[in-house]
Structures are given as structure tokens and as C-alpha cells.
Amino acid sequence: MTIKNMTAEVDIKAVNEANNSKRAKDDDDNISQSLYLKRQKIYPRQVHGIFAGLRITAILLLLGIFFHVPWLEWDGRQAVLFDLPARKFYIFGLIIWPQDFHYLAFLLIIAALTLFFFTALAGRLWCGYACPQTVWTEAMLFIERIVEGSRIQQMRLDESPITWRKVFIKATKHSIWLIFSAYSGYAFVSYFTPAAELAHRFLTFSPGPWEAFWVFFYAALTYGNAGWMREQFCIYMCPYARFQSAMFDDNTLTIFYDEKRGEPRGSRSRYSDHRSMGHGDCIDCTLCVQVCPTGIDIRNGLQYECIGCSACIDVCDDVMEKMNYPKGLIRYTTQNALMGNKTRIFRPRIFVYGLLLLVLFAYLGYSLNQRIPIGIDVIRDRNQLYRETNGLIENVYTIKILNMDEKTHSYKLDAEGISNLSLFVDTENITVEAGKVLDLPVRLRADEADLDKRSSSFEFILTALDNDTLVVTKTAKFLGPVN
């Protein structure tokens, strides 16, 4: 319902109220109902063309990556595994510990900025080609087309009364949808639980309760979102769709209908001289509306429902070719180009996003390169602040050593910062296996004469024996009697 129609109805209501209060009440009820437009199911028509090809390629590639990555191996383990139970994320050669979480935060910020950058440059590329909602919806539409047939066949089937044939076709479609959704749910969970083990547990009907819950949860989400919600998700629920217009300006590449060239629209014979008939290039075949997955008419101008899938470009180009008109009545262009102005690709917005991205990438690269795969934590003994042993002051600590590297290391521990500080470790050999944590109790002794304060700072220094560059230091406090 358009805003215009609503206003008209409200005016009528006002008149009615003056004449007859009972009828006015009835009208009121009608209006409050008619404000909610029941969703009309959209049957997008299949498209062929350059952009459809690009889209299908992107969709197949992304689905392929999503389903295949959990099965990749790296050093005898799953290459990409967000191992929540072990609190470690494996991304190929990189192992991310909770301590390294800022790297992930950085990656997320980079991903968001990349999205902004490409949106400013070329509109909703993400929505049209790469968003999981688009990818899975397209897959579901593909299944629907295979089972139910073309757009017209689907519409006829939905309008027809229930018959065994209809039940059979619908049941087949939903079964395939459900199997596809279940496999998607399994693939998603296998990023968090080793894929092969999970598959084995499911095939032997013995999955863990939470694993089963999440597989079914994500399967249901896929089935509901991609099978049923489809474009409604983009229109009503997607947060990005609501604020993407903030990244748009007159130089952003978007899908436009060339109104100057197309209007006034109207049907005509292929061989007639449409200019002399007073027609523009648009033959009003409404194919652009029929192919639109969100059910809009691109000829009404850029609308926020448009996810930039470019199906209307492909289908309109086909029509233009058949009519022997130049292609591009609907095309990727900018507001500026359409108004006859110059399009500026390099503009402050692009520079700012680009520069920020560059800085973040450089910093991430640098800090990953400089990352020392040792973690050290110092925990003071809580029972006693200090004790006196052989005329010296003794403090007790537990050192937690994390080996975040991919191989076993032996370490040397030192303490510096207070003169004549002596360190006692109960074990001679501090060895930590790859990816493990060692709790090491240590005692430190110092002469009371060397302590000038109640609490003196010093440093623990941990060095790998096989590699001098693997060094970490940690500042700690040494407590003694008040002087």
C-alpha cells in the first residue's frame, strides 16, 4: 500500500464519521486492517545474462567454500576450526587464543570497513552477490525451480486446489529444502566441532546434545530464512539494509533505470518507429518487475528494497536486443552520470575508507608478524604476603606459561629489577608442549636491605632455549616488611 492510498482512505473515514458513527467504526476497523499489507508471494522469473552468470559463479564459489573448508587439513588437524571447547581458534597456520582476541576484533573491523568501502564504490555488491541470505535464497529458488517448474508453473500450482499431485510436488520441494538446510546446519557446526567426528557421530545417531541442538537450530534458521522469509529478511530484518544508504552518494555505482531514455513507456510493435509515436525506449513489458527477487519496480527509481542483484539489467538488455535498441536502459551507473555530470570515483569518502583500511591492514600484518607465541601470567600466592627464610625475604608465585606456538619449547626463567634477587624453581627443565599451559610454582628471595619500599617492582623474563627471539617479560610486585 502506498502512502497516497492510505491518505485517501483516512479522508473517507473523516467524512463517514460526521455522517454515521457506526459506519465510521466499521471503516475504522477496515482501515486498521488494511494498513498491514499481506505479503504477496514473489515468484522471481529466471534470468540469463552477464550478471546472472557472475551471480551464479559467486554463489557456487561461496557455497563451495563454505561446505569445503571444514574438510581442509593443516598439519594433521582441521585447517579452520573455531575450537570453542578448547578455547582456541585455528585459522590455517594461525592459532588464536583468548589472549589474542584483539586480532579477531581487528579482522571484524576490517571486514566492516571493506563492506563500507565497496558499498561507497559500487552500491550493494555484498547484498547482490555475497550475502549468505542471497546465496542460500538463490539455492532454495533453484531447488524450487527444479521441482515446481517455471515462474508461471509455480503460480498456477499455488493457485490450484489441493490434489495428490500438488501435495507430492510440495512435499518433494520441502524435503529437498530440509535436507539442504540440515546439511548447511551440519557444515556450520563443523566449524566449531571437528567435521569428521561430528559427521561420524551423526551417522551413528549419537551426537552430543548441544551439537544436535545447534545443528537443528541452524538448519531451522536456514529453512526459515532462505526458504520462507527470502526477500522479507532483507527488507524488514537486515540491519545493514537500514543503514547502507549512509554510504551512498551521487558517485556510487548503482542500478538505475534511465528515465529520460525510457519514458514515456508503452507497448509497440518491434518494427514501428516508437519515437514518432511519442514513446521512449521502455516497452513496458514488466519483465524487470517479474525478475526482481524483492518485487519492486526499478523504474520508480532507486529504492531501499533493491539488493543490487542486477537481474533487471540482464532481462532488460535481452529485450533491448530483441527490439534492436541500444542496451543499458537499466544499467549500473551513478546519479551524477545519469544527470549528465561527471562521476568522481576518487572522492574524500573513498580516500578515508581506503586509508583506514590500509592502516588497519598494515597494523594487523605488523602485529601478527611481531607476535611472540608465548603467554605469561604471574599469580601471587594469596595465603602469605611474604615470609622470612634464612634471614631473607621470600615471596611465592605461580607462573602460568602458555606455549601458543605449534611446537614444544623449553624455557629459561629469570627475574630482574631488585639487586641480589634469587629465583628458585622446583623443576630444572621448563618444557611446555605446543598449545599447552604450564603452572610453575616459583620462589623469590631478596635481602631486606635491598628493598627500599614495601612493594618493589621487578620483571620475570621468560626466554625460549632454542630461540633467543622468543622472549616475554612480565612485571610483578615483590612485597617485604615496611622499612
Query: Which residues sit at the interface with other proteins, rule CB under 8 A?
Result: 1, 3, 6, 31-32, 35-39, 84-85, 87, 98, 101, 193, 208-211, 213-214, 229, 232, 235-237, 239, 242, 245, 304
Strand partners, 388: 393
Smaller CB separation from other proteins, 98 or 149? 98
* Residue number with CB closer to other proteins (34 or 467): 34
Q: How far is CA 266 from the centre of its chain?
A: 42
Minimum Å distance from CB 98 to other proteins? 6
CB atoms within 10 A of CB 468: 8
The neighbouring-strand residues paired with 444 are: 395, 423
- Residues 259 and 446: their CA atoms lie apart, in Å, by 86
Please identify, using beta-carbon distances, which residue of 36 and 346 lies nearer to other proteins. Answer: 36
For other proteins, which is the closer residue by CB, 211 or 258?
211
Q: How far apart are CA 13 and CA 164, in angstroms?
A: 46
Task: Tell me the closest approach of the beta carbon of residue 105 to other proteins, in angstroms.
Answer: 9
88-91, strands of its sheet edge to edge:
80-83, 88-91, 94-96
Nearer to other proteins, 35 or 50 (CB): 35
- Whether the Cβ atoms of residue 298 and residue 312 lie closer than 8 Å to each other: yes
Return all residues near 419 (Cβ < 8 A) that are at least 6 apart. 450
Q: Label residue 201 exposed, middle or buried (CB < 10 Å: 0-12, 13-18, 19+).
A: middle
Nearest distance in Å: CB 376, other proteins: 18
Q: By C-beta, is 22 or 38 nearer to other proteins? A: 38
Q: How far is the CB of 61 from other proteins (least distance, A)?
A: 26
* Helix (H) / strand (E) containing 378: strand 374-380
CA distance 72 to 78: 6
| Residue with smaller CB distance to other proteins, 213 or 351 | 213
Q: Are the C-beta atoms of residues 481 and 425 closer than 8 Å to each other?
A: no
